[in-house]
């Protein structure tokens, strides 16, 4: 029997975490300056630290992951040129058409399994441009894959995609909003993920728990251009060392603990499966459940104090993070199971 929570358990996303007392202290005490003059030492430290972790020469701090993806891709693809990605990629599903609207970039998508593209199918899509044919300028991969339920690309597959890009002389952008989860789940060093990509976006405001901020990792010699583009997009900030300090705190304190989020996701999946739900086995911190009426089930759960996301008409997304305990996850699994059993359309 479910014991219902006193305060809501929010499993809609790992973006909902609030900065801890320690993180807030680090933010309050951050040494800052005007970052548009290049004078914020904490932002600089974050950029150098994260670039170094992934083996990149430089990185630029951005307010959001969407802007980091946008700037990274702009380094590789121009207007009227083509980018190939999977059909469920965040850049085509959830970035409001930004690549098309802001940059005139044509995206061509490949249906995939859990968001992970097949290398041979990808190879067959790439076009060498000429007077009559749009040229593919870059490929994009997402790791872990959000709509794919936190699926992780095997590093060998990423290396094969890198080799494919090299063979055609084109770029590769990695949307690593949750690359931290991939690293913790597989043990593959961050630098090995970095080595496959020309540009990369990483989020500090998801599993790592910072209130805001992402970074775009850049090819050699492109940081000035990226900073200019960030300003054009309205994303250049001033004393943003306050945010960078939260990000650095998250990196130091919250990376290793992502394994707990993965364990909690498996706990939820196991409980839901034993209650008869059609759960996809989680690889990291995202659990997807196939249901008949996702909005109805999500609403029933919300009424019992458990927030989860309808991720499509028949798909639920449940995301674990540092602000939910194993016990919260057990409670949430009970509430979701009960809602599923009471769902009138359940067969
Ligand atoms: C969250 C996310 C982003 C960035 O989103 P923002 O809300 O702009 O920080 C990018 N890619 C993926 C796969 C994401 O899940």
Q: 36 alpha carbon to ligand 1 midpoint, in Å?
A: 24
Q: Is the pTM of this model over 0.85?
A: yes
> Which DSSP helix (H) or strand (E) runs through 69?
helix 65-74
For residues 43 and 238, give the distance between their C-alpha atoms in angstroms, rounded to a whole number.
10
Nearest CA to ligand 1 atom 3: 65
Whole-angstrom Cα distance, residue 2 to residue 329?
12
Atom of ligand 1 nearest to the CA of 66: 8
Tally of helices (H runs) and strands (E runs) in the chain: 14, 13
Spell out which residues line ligand 1, taking CB within 6 angstroms: 64-66, 69, 90, 142, 146, 175, 177, 203, 214
Ligand 1 centroid distance, CA of 280 (Å): 22
The two structure tokens encoding residue 227: 């900073």
pLDDT in tens, the chain (347 residues): 455 566 899 999 999 999 999 999 999 999 999 999 999 999 999 999 999 999 999 999 999 999 999 999 999 999 999 999 999 999 999 999 999 999 999 999 999 999 999 999 999 999 999 999 999 999 999 999 999 999 999 999 999 999 999 999 999 999 999 999 999 999 999 999 999 999 999 999 999 999 999 999 999 999 999 999 999 999 999 999 999 999 999 999 999 999 999 999 999 999 999 999 999 999 999 999 999 999 999 999 999 999 999 999 999 999 999 999 999 999 999 999 999 988 765 44
| Upstream peptide bond of 200 is cis (omega within 30 degrees of 0) | no
- Closest residue by Cα to residue 66 from 122, 137, 146: 146
The pLDDT value given to residue 5: 62
Pocket-testing residue among 62, 66, 176, 204, ligand 1, by greatest number of atoms within 8 A of Cβ: 66
Predicted local distance difference test score (pLDDT) of residue 194? 98
Q: How far is the CA of 178 from the centre of ligand 1 (A)?
A: 8
pLDDT digits (tens, 9 = 90+) for 236-273: 999 999 999 999 999 999 999 999 999 999 999 999 99
The pLDDT, as a whole number, for residue 1 is 47
Q: Determine the distance separating the centroid of ligand 1 and the alpha carbon of 175, expressed in angstroms.
A: 8
Question: Are 94 and 85 a contacting pair, CB within 8 Å?
Answer: no
- How confident is the model at residue 4, as a pLDDT? 57
pLDDT in tens, 147-195: 999 999 999 999 999 999 999 999 999 999 999 999 999 999 999 999 9
3-state secondary structure of 151: strand
Tokens of 121: 């199918």
- Ligand 1: residue of 73, 175, 211, 286 to mutate (most ligand atoms within 8 A of CB) is 175
Domain boundaries, the chain: 9-17+257-346, 31-253
* Residue whose CA lies nearest to ligand 1 atom number 5: 65
The pLDDT value recorded for residue 7 is 83
Task: With beta carbons less than 8 A apart as the criterion, state whether 116 and 153 touch.
Answer: yes
- Name residues whose C-beta falls within 8 Å of residue 233's C-beta, 6 or more positions apart in sequence: 67, 70, 71, 102
Q: Of 256, 197, 237, 253, which Cα lies nearest the Cα of 47?
A: 237
Nearest residue to 307 via CA among 236, 297, 315, 157: 297
Domain 9-17+257-346 CATH class label: alpha beta
Of the candidates 76, 128, 116, 126, the one whose C-alpha atom is nearest the C-alpha of residue 99 is 76
CATH-assigned architecture of domain 31-253: 3-Layer(aba) Sandwich (3.40)
Please give the structure tokens belonging to residue 300: 């029933």
Q: Which residue's CA is the closest to the ligand 1 atom numbered 9?
A: 65
The closest-lying atom of ligand 1 relative to the alpha carbon of residue 145 is 13
CA pair distance 108, 6, nearest whole angstrom: 47
Of the candidates 321, 333, 318, the residue with the CA atom closest to the CA atom of residue 262: 321
Q: Whose CA is nearest to atom 14 of ligand 1?
A: 177
Distance of CA 308 to the CA centre of its chain: 18
200 CA distance to ligand 1 middle (Å): 12
CA of 177 relative to ligand 1 center, distance in Å: 6
């Amino acid at each position: 029997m479910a014991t219902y929570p006193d305060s809501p358990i929010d499993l809609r996303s790992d973006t909902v975490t609030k900065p801890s007392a320690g993180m807030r202290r680090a933010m309050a005490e951050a040494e800052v300056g005007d970052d548009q003059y290049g004078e914020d030492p904490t932002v600089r430290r974050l950029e150098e630290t994260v670039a170094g972790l992934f083996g990149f020469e430089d990185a630029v701090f951005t307010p959001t992951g969407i802007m980091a993806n946008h700037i990274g891709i702009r380094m590789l693809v121009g207007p009227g040129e083509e980018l190939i990605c999977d059909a469920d990629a965040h850049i085509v599903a959830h970035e409001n058409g930004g690549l098309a609207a802001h940059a005139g970039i044509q995206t061509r998508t490949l249906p995939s399994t859990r968001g992970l593209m097949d290398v041979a199918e990808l190879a067959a899509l790439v076009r060498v441009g000429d007077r009559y044919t749009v040229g593919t300028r870059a490929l994009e991969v997402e790791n872990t894959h959000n709509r794919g339920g936190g699926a992780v690309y095997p590093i060998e597959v990423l290396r094969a995609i890198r080799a494919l890009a090299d063979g055609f002389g084109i770029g590769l952008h990695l949307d690593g909003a949750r690359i931290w989860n991939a690293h913790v789940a597989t043990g593959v060093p961050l630098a090995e993920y970095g080595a496959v990509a020309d540009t990369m976006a990483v989020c500090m405001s998801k599993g790592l728990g910072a209130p805001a901020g992402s970074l775009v990792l850049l090819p050699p010699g492109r940081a000035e251009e990226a900073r200019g583009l960030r300003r054009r997009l309205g994303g250049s900030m001033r004393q943003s060392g306050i945010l960078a300090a939260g990000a650095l705190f998250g990196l130091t304190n919250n990376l290793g603990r992502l394994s707990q989020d993965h364990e909690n996701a498996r706990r939820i999946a196991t409980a839901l499966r034993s209650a008869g739900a059609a759960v996809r086995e989680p690889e990291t911190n995202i659990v997807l459940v196939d249901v008949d009426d996702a909005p109805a089930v999500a609403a029933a759960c919300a009424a019992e104090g458990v927030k989860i996301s309808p991720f499509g008409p028949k798909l639920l997304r449940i995301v674990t993070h540092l602000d939910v305990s194993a016990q919260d996850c057990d409670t949430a699994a009970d509430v979701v199971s009960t809602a599923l059993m009471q769902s009138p359309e359940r067969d």
